[in-house]
Amino acid sequence: MRWLGLAIVVTIVLAIISLFVGVSDVSLGALLSSSPEDRPMQVLLISRIPRTLAIILSGASMAIAGLVMQMVVRNRFVEPSTAGTTESASLGFLVITLLAPGWPLMGKMLVSALFALAGTALFLRILRSVPLRDVLLVPLVGIMLGGIIGAVTAFIAYRYGLMASLLAWSMGDFSGILRGRYELLWIGLACCILAYIAADRFTVAGMGKDFTTNLGLNYQRVMVLGLIIVSLVSAVVLVSVGSIPFLGLIVPNLVSLMVGDNMRRTVPWVALGGAGFVLACDIIGRIVRYPYEIPISVVVGVIGSMIFLFLLLRTRRYAA
């Protein structure tokens, strides 16, 4: 509990730092010497606070989505971006944008979530049909499926002149977050709470269908609940800020190395780890090329890929 409190403090410190990093002068002195109508206070209320909340919500929810997916699939190397879920959500968002461009963002998000659910279900169906003798083949199948869905999405976007929009969805970026444009991410927080409530069920489901059934739980219901959580989170984050790669993979694995596999115990750590990791990456992206900004998907992709390689090599070494 003491270490968890320390993690909370570190996350709060990173959130405070995030509020004061940027091109506009939003220092503590400027805020104290300005009125609510002056520029520093307006930038803080309209841009900085919503951006920081969006970072925390998206980081925590994507990390939890990765943890849930790993429990459902029973593989440590899957997450929405390595199982075709994110690509399916992008396809759904593109389709509804073409067919009903005037729909509200909530409606588009729900359609994107349905496509993400269908894509994840297809991934699980393929896994049941293909004998996999190596844990590393599971994310490989997901990456191949995601590549196929991504190619279809790119073709449709090219055919209808929406390549720029597709690039914006696939490139996670918090620079455009303003008040009124991030509120859908609170759905991700609700999914995190739901995952914590059902944590014991997911832990049991991660031990296999027969074991779950013998304990009196409905395995299919637990699986469906997990898929719904993953799909909703993936769609909400994609619609709000774009794709953030590797987040749902590296954070749950690092937390598992430290505190074990009991999901009820790991959910708070994973949520804090995801929020803190994205906060740190976003701060790095804003100061490396100041006053310009590196998209969060690039920073997370570079750091996340290095951690992913470390986890792969570690798995191979211990397997040998």
CATH number of the domain within which 142 lies: 1.10.3470.10
Radius of gyration of the chain (CA): 20
Question: From CA 66, how far away is CA 92, in angstroms rounded?
Answer: 20
Residue 212 falls inside a structural domain: yes
Structure token pair of residue 308: 């992913």
Residue 256 falls inside a structural domain: yes
At CA 273, angle to CA 235 and CA 227, rounded to 5?
Answer: 35
Question: From CA 163, how far away is CA 254, in angstroms rounded?
Answer: 35
Residue 39 falls inside a structural domain: no
Question: From CA 51, how far away is CA 20, in angstroms rounded?
Answer: 11
Residue 286 falls inside a structural domain: yes
pLDDT at position 319, please? 47
Predicted TM-score of the model (pTM): 0.87
Greatest alpha-carbon span in the chain: 66
Number of compact structural domains in the chain? 1
Question: From CA 72, how far away is CA 225, in angstroms rounded?
Answer: 10
Which DSSP letter does residue 33 get?
T
Structure token pair of residue 122: 């297809």
Question: From CA 128, how far away is CA 211, in angstroms rounded?
Answer: 18
Question: From CA 13, how far away is CA 252, in angstroms rounded?
Answer: 22
Residue 48 falls inside a structural domain: no
Residue 38 falls inside a structural domain: no
Kindly list the distances between the CA atom of residue 60 and the CA atoms of 91, 160, 190, in Å, as whole numbers in the listed order. 24, 35, 11
Which DSSP letter does residue 80 get?
G
Residue 275 falls inside a structural domain: yes
- Regions in the chain scoring below 50 on pLDDT: 319-320
Residue 41 falls inside a structural domain: no
Question: From CA 265, how far away is CA 252, in angstroms rounded?
Answer: 12
Q: Give 212's contacts (C-beta < 8 A, 6+ positions apart).
A: 204, 205, 219, 222
The residue range of the domain holding 256 is 1-12+53-311
